[in-house]
């Protein structure tokens, strides 16, 4: 039964159209809840219990999204903030990753424009950058990162880290520039080099 716009009475919708309208409204409400949950994740707010009940969609995490390896206390601490046994354990795990994965796959030739240091563990900047690179690798090669995760790791993490580490002015700038002549030298910090402030 159709009503004209001239009637001031209630609008009546045929029953067969009502089912379609109910389904459309339900779909819009679900979409709105999903968008609210995504917005809450992106702004680091906790979603409401109703939003949290929405189905998980792998690969949609942002870098601030907690990763399963982070544990209940949150992300791992910055490696340079660790000391003693905790630092040594992290450094040992990092060394295994660097020597078993990073260098065999991404090491490339040592040249004056791409130096490397065989004693990289003694360069705090290198340790910090390599540990961050390893943590990103763990996150973006996890199945939950989705199919594009490794690409994100290469583009957003590996390439910038290697550009900094292996730059002539980077932490290895005074170290090995030829694989045939290994060299290691820590560069002085600006305060030490310039006599302090």
Domain span at residue 28 reads 1-55
182 and 135, same domain (yes or no): yes
Res. 193: pLDDT tops 80: no
40 and 72, same domain (yes or no): no
| pLDDT one-digit tens code per residue, 131-184 | 999 999 999 999 999 999 999 999 999 999 999 999 999 999 888 888 788 888
Residue 119 has φ and ψ, to the nearest 5°, of -110, 45
Q: Is residue 76 part of a domain?
A: yes
50 and 17, same domain (yes or no): yes
Q: Which of 55, 77, 98 is the last residue of a domain?
A: 55
pLDDT of amino acid 179: 78
41 and 83, same domain (yes or no): no
Q: Is residue 197 part of a domain?
A: no
The CA-atom distances, in angstroms, between 83 and each of 20, 80, 105, 117, 120 are: 63, 8, 30, 23, 18
Q: Is residue 196 part of a domain?
A: no
pLDDT of amino acid 180: 84
Distance CA 30, CA 7 (A): 34
């Amino acid at each position: 039964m159709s009503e004209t716009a001239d009637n001031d009475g209630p609008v009546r919708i045929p029953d067969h159209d009502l089912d379609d309208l109910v389904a459309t409204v339900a779909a819009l409400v679900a979409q709105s809840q999903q968008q609210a949950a995504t917005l809450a994740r992106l702004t680091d707010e906790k979603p409401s219990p109703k939003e949290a009940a929405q189905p998980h969609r792998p690969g949609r995490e942002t870098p601030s999204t907690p990763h399963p390896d982070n544990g209940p206390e949150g992300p791992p601490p910055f490696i340079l903030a660790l000391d003693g046994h905790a630092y040594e354990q992290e450094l040992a795990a990092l060394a295994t990753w660097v020597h078993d994965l990073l260098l065999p796959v991404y090491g490339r030739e040592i040249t004056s424009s791409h130096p490397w240091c065989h004693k990289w563990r003694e360069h705090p900047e290198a340790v910090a950058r390599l540990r961050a690179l390893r943590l990103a690798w763990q996150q973006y090669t996890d199945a939950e990162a989705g199919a594009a995760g490794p690409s994100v790791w290469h583009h957003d993490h590996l390439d910038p880290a290697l550009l900094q580490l292996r730059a002539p002015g980077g932490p290895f700038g005074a170290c090995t520039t030829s694989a045939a002549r290994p060299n290691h030298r820590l560069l002085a910090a600006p305060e030490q080099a310039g006599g302090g402030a």
